[in-house]
Copies of this chain bind each other. A is one copy, B any other.
Amino acid sequence: MSASSATPGTVYGVGVGPGAPDLLTLRAARIVETADVLAYFAKRGRRGNGRTIVEGLVRPGTEELPLLYPVTTELPVGHPDYERMILGFYEDSAAAVRRLAEAGRSVAVISEGDPFFYGSFMHLWRRLRGVVPVEVVPGVTGMSGCWTRADVPITWGDDILTVLPGTLAEEVLAARLSMTDAAVVMKLGHNLPKVRRAMIAAGLHGRAIYVERGAMAGERVMPLADKTDDDAPYFSMILVPGEGRRI
């Protein structure tokens, strides 16, 4: 049978949760265990957090498709070379996954956290839906993993929660932080000094919590006030727990 005449396989965007191997859902675990091909995003030369999370579930001999970012933080978002390289990367990745599905193979694309919440899988989903069968499996978000590890409820009663990428401008961060009850600032990395200044401007610095690699190996949790250096990995975030109605 030629590849083009096979019943297409399904492409799964599988949320694998915040980091601990037992925080996958039952559905995600079953798909990782049974898919014909396991695809995952990673930085060149690294294995990637997502692939590491599912290590114990992969059948020996499973075909793997590493999708290696040509660039991550070496170039700023918006730089023409970054845009060009990352566009080509997603086009090529979608084409590779599509070819497998069209040949009748099911492909599980590993997504840290939840695929539809700032996930790289969305760039494949956008290109593949309507072309081959695509199914998304929601996962525990990285932020849920972090507030659980920090042992703080994030929202009480009628609290408003604002989720802010640390990449935003300082004045935007400060303005939005000053108008919310609870906040999560993601994508920290080299944005930490700017985010810290915004937290101070919004009067939230004293109740903010810094979480590095929450629910992963090497986890650190501390009051932001105790995080005096500016060295934060991309997988770190700041939480501002809400203080709403406690019954």
Contact = CB atoms under 8 A, between A and B. Distances in A.
Interface stretch (A35-43, A99-107, A140-148): A140-148
A211 interface: no
A194 B125 CA distance: 34
A27 interface: yes
Given A138-B140, A141-B141, A147 B30 contact: no
A211 to B, nearest CB: 13
B160 A160 contact: no
Contact of A140 (B114, B123, B165, B215): B114
Contact of A247 (B87, B139, B140, B155): B87
A163 interface: yes
B162 A160 contact: yes
Contact of A22 (B25, B154, B159): B25
Contacts of A160: 162-165, 168, 176
Contacts of A159: 118, 165
Contact of A23 (B83, B138, B141, B158): B138
A20 interface: yes
Contact of A116 (B21, B30, B148, B176): B148
Question: How big is the A interface, by class?
Answer: 35 or more
A29 B179 CA distance: 38
B151 A144 contact: no
A126 B83 CA distance: 47
A246 interface: yes
A217 interface: no
B25 A17 contact: yes
Q: Which of A83, A141, A158, A179 has the most CB of B within 10 A?
A: A158
B116 A247 contact: no
Interface of A: 15, 17-18, 20-27, 29-30, 77, 83, 86-87, 90, 114-119, 122-123, 125-126, 129, 136-141, 144-145, 147-148, 151-165, 167-168, 176, 179-180, 215, 245-247
Given A23-B27, A125-B153, 6 more contacts: A114-B144, A116-B147, A116-B153, A119-B153, A126-B246, A138-B147
